[in-house]
């Protein structure tokens, strides 16, 4: 019978498994969820053993519902949230909870590393507080016993690979977000590792995401009731996997995501970093490809925050705006609820409204919030343009794209048409499954990673372009003034 493939997407709130056939068509999916611990302000942690439990639940669910297809499993690919630090001792046991991507406790350590001579030159990036390297610096300072017990430092997806195969192995795209990888050479940098008192011995073996990493270990084979050998691919960080699922490998292709956070990603065929723009430049999950992205830390999170304050659901809030753009609200919202990455690299900045009056209503504030998120993504676009990136069209997805108003607003403020995919299977889990197909069959990634069907294209509203351009100018001027009030 034909082979099947499993894509596992290890998200911040849950793990999703996607079972596909050899053409990438979906057979079935399953999900399991877990919590995030926040023991102190700015901290964000998870127990990696919760990921294993979730993976076992997903595998059992898929095996029960699709027994014949599950029995023909030939390959597995893992996507995971990036930058997390999982510490493993010599016995292969987890030492402490994983410090997650959105944990900001290591901001001082990040600044210290970023000021070193080699950090930006070799990694191609600013050392952000969310990256892995400053987390290990923080552990060395505040938990030295845990630091000295550490035999391996694994990213979340690499930890799942470790559980699946028994081997410490990661992929290029995920490793690029540590600030330890020489992103141009696609290998660990001894110079960068030595800055934090580490060496290559502490790192997993690094492979291309579409290449074979290892075989599924005997224990997993037995637990999963499989007989024939199963290849585990290198896998990918979540954004690279999403790009693979959306078929974005070539120069000029990209996506914008209106999720909890916001991402504007561009596929690149060459390595051309501009770290001073706060744009991330990472290896793609396929050979000889890179990608760049701007990241904002709060997108739909801003609307969810306002929903919690007002008691109205996000859908109720956006429905008050209708579907037709009427021009700028006249109120400026700065969406820095958790700090900001691109272009400010500012973990301390917080959000705010400018221009509230006695006549300001709830709908005006909702409109300002949506505009503020779009302006922040426009900041990302301008930063990407400084690297030579231009888009004729962007794929758009994420929870925020359920609002026609928000889609039209974003297209107008970016002045780029937005293509809305049909269906829901074009994300990280599909990308991980496609990487498994490539690793197992050795097929060229460009033959597997094709774009999704498009249900609609949202074009910019040319009537209001000048109005929103002026409002964007006001938004840009607000940051330095706002910053001066918080320092």
Active-site annotation, residues: 238
| SS3 readout for the chain | CCCEEEEEEECCCEEEEEEEECCCCEEEEEEEECCCECCCCCCCEECHHHHHHHHHHHHHHHHHHCHHHHHCEEEEEEEECCCCEEEECCCCCECCCEECCCCCCCHHHHHHHHCCCCHHHHHCCCCCCCCHHHHHHHHHHHCHHHHHHCCEEECHHHHHHHHHHCCCEEEHHHHCCCCCEECCCCEECHHHHHHCCCCHHHCCEEECCCCEEEECCHHHHHHCCCCCCCEEECCEEHHHHHHHHCCCCCCCCEEEEECCCEEEEEEECCCCCCHHHCCEEEECCCCCCEEEEEEECCCHHHHHHHHHHHCCCHHHHHHCCCCCCCCCCCCEEECCECEECCCCCECCCCCEEECCCCCCCHHHHHHHHHHHHHHHHHHHHHHHHCCCCCCCCEEEECHHHHCHHHHHHHHHHHCCCEEEECCCCCCHHHHHHHHHHHHHHCCCHHHHCCCCCEEEEECCCHHHHHHHHHHHHHHHHHHHHHHHHCC
């Amino acid at each position: 019978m034909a082979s099947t493939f499993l894509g596992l997407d290890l998200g911040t709130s849950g793990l999703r498994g996607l079972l596909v056939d050899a053409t990438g068509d979906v057979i079935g999916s399953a999900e399991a969820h877990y919590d995030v611990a926040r023991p102190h302000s700015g901290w964000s942690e998870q127990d990696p053993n919760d990921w294993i439990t979730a993976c076992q639940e997903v595998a059992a669910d898929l095996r029960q519902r699709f027994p014949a297809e599950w029995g023909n499993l030939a390959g597995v690919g893992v996507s995971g949230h990036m930058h997390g630090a999982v510490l493993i001792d010599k016995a292969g046991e987890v030492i402490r909870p994983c410090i997650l991507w959105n944990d900001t406790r290591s901001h001082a350590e990040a600044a210290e590393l970023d000021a070193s001579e080699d950090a930006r030159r070799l990694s191609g990036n600013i050392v952000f507080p969310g990256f892995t390297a400053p987390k290990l610096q923080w552990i060395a300072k505040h938990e030295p016993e845990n630091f000295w017990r550490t035999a391996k430092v694994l990213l979340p997806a690499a930890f799942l690979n470790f559980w699946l195969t028994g081997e410490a192995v990661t992929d290029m795209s995920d490793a690029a977000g540590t600030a330890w990888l020489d992103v141009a050479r696609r290998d660990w940098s001894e110079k960068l590792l030595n800055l934090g008192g580490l060496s290559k011995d502490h790192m997993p073996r690094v492979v291309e995401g579409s290449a074979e990493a290892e075989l599924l270990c005997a224990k997993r084979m037995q637990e999963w009731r499989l007989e024939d050998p199963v290849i585990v691919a290198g896998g990918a960080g979540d954004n690279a996997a999403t790009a693979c699922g959306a078929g974005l490998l070539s120069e000029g292709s990209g996506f914008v995501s209106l999720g909890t956070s916001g991402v504007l990603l561009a596929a690149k065929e060459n390595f051309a970093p501009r770290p001073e723009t706060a744009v991330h430049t990472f290896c793609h999950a396929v050979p000889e490809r890179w990608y760049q992205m701007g990241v904002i830390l709060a997108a739909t999170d801003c609307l969810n925050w306002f929903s919690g304050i007002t008691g109205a659901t996000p859908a109720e809030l956006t429905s008050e705006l209708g579907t037709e753009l009427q021009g700028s609200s006249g109120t400026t919202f700065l969406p820095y609820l958790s700090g900001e990455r691109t272009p400010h690299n500012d973990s301390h900045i917080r959000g705010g409204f400018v221009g509230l009056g006695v006549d300001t209503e709830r709908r005006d504030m909702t409109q300002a919030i949506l505009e503020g998120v779009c302006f922040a993504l426009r900041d990302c676009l301008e930063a990407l343009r400084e690297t030579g990136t231009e888009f004729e069209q962007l794929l758009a997805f994420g929870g925020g794209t359920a609002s026609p108003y928000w889609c039209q607003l974003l297209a107008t403020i970016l002045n780029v048409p937005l293509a809305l995919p049909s269906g829901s299977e074009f994300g990280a889990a599909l990308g991980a499954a496609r990487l498994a197909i490539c690793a197992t069959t050795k097929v060229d990634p460009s033959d597997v990673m094709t774009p999704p069907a498009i249900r609609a294209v949202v074009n910019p509203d040319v009537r209001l372009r000048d109005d929103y351009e002026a409002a964007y100018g006001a938004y840009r001027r607000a940051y330095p003034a706002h910053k001066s009030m918080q320092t």
